[in-house]
Every structure is written in C-alpha cells, then in structure tokens.
Amino acid sequence: MRDDFSNEHFSGTEWLSYLDGGPGAATGNEMKTHVENCPECGGFAASIGAVRAILSEQAGQLREATALSDEALDSMLTSCFSRLRSTASAEGRTRWSASEAIVLLRVLVEPICGRGTAGATIDLALRRSTASNEGSVTEGNWSLFITNFSDLMASVCGSAAGRLVNRAGFCLAVARG
C-alpha cells in the first residue's frame, strides 16, 4: 500500500466507492473482476468486509445487551410524566421561596447523609449555580441548582440519593426571585 488507502492498482477514492457500493456499474464491475483475481486487492477487500461483518454483529449484540425491559421503560416513562406534570402545573400551584424549597430538600437529605454533609453539599451546589447564598437562587437558576445538587448527592451518597434529590427538586415550584 502506498499510502493510507490507495495501492498499486486503485486510488483511495476508487476503493472507498467500491467498498461502499458507490461507483457506476462499469467501473464497479471492472474493479470487481480485478479484485477477484488479484491476491493483494482481494485480501484487502476481504479484510475490510470481515471487519464490517464483525462490527455489525457486535453492535447488534450491544443493542441487545442494552435493551430496556418493559418495567424499566414504564418506570422511566412514569418519572418523565411526573417531571412534565410538575412543570405543567407549576403556574397554578403554591410556590415556595427558594429558601423554603432548600430547607425542604435539606430535611429530605439530612437523614441520608447527616446535617453537616447536607449543609456542605447544598452550599457547594449553590456556589456552582452562580448563587452565592440561598437568597440568590431563583426560578431561573433553580434547575441548575437542582442538577448540581443531585450530582453532588450522587457523588457523596450514591446514585439513588442523587435521583431522589433530582426528582424532589424538580417537583418543587420555586417563586420568581
């Protein structure tokens, strides 16, 4: 092979077109005949074909291995509906101030991680949400705060705690600052 794709017989573009089923019938047939009779070109085409076959087979196995059960799908759908519902009904619902909502979340996580960790985690999430203290969290950056808080909780106490915070947080309607 002279360079990345071409060899003595065909250019890289010709190979690309041939293996991808691209060229006109005449060129394709001519090349096909050559490839069938040339050990070098035949070997190259066969190796590319083998790689393609393995990739297709293995990717199929990966899709099977990552298939979702009906139960998992239902659970995710229920959770999505819950988040959508909380947003949809937020307009007509009693809204919490940011401070009140954070207190509620603190009460939720303290039994899981302890008072000190709960406070430190909330403070860090507040700083990362461009809010220096609880008073500066508003409706606008509430989502970011919840995302940061749940990520931190997941890091400190595990993914289940993170998801709990995430879901509870998105269900709370926070008043405009």
Which residues in this chain contact another protein in the complex, by CB under 8 A? 4-5, 12, 15-16, 19-20, 43, 47-48, 50-52, 54-56, 58-59, 61-63, 65-68, 70, 72-74, 76-85, 88-89, 124, 128, 147-148, 151-152, 154-156, 158-160, 163, 166
Work out how close the CB of 20 gets to another protein at its nearest, in angstroms, rounded to a whole number.
7
CB closer to another protein, 51 vs 99: 51
Q: Tell me how far, at minimum, the Cβ of 7 lies from another protein, in Å.
A: 11
Min separation Cβ 1 and another protein, Å = 9
* Comparison of 12 and 28: residue with beta carbon closer to another protein: 12
3-state secondary structure 52-116: HHHHHHHHHHHHHHCCCCHHHHHHHHHHHHHHHHHHHCHHHCCCECHHHHHHHHHHHHHHHHCHH
- Cα angle: 135, vertex 141, 146; to 5 degrees: 95
Which of 44, 98 has the CB closer to another protein?
Answer: 44
| C-beta closer to another protein: residue 97 or 119 | 119
Residue closer to another protein by CB (options 99, 127) is: 127
Q: 91-103: b or e for each residue (b if 16 or more CB lie within 10 Å)?
A: eeeeebebeebbe
Taking Cα atoms as reference points, which of 133, 176, 173, 125 lies closest to residue 152?
125
Asked if 127 and 149 count as a contact pair (C-beta separation under 8 A), the reply is: no
C-alpha span between 177 and 56 (Å, rounded): 53
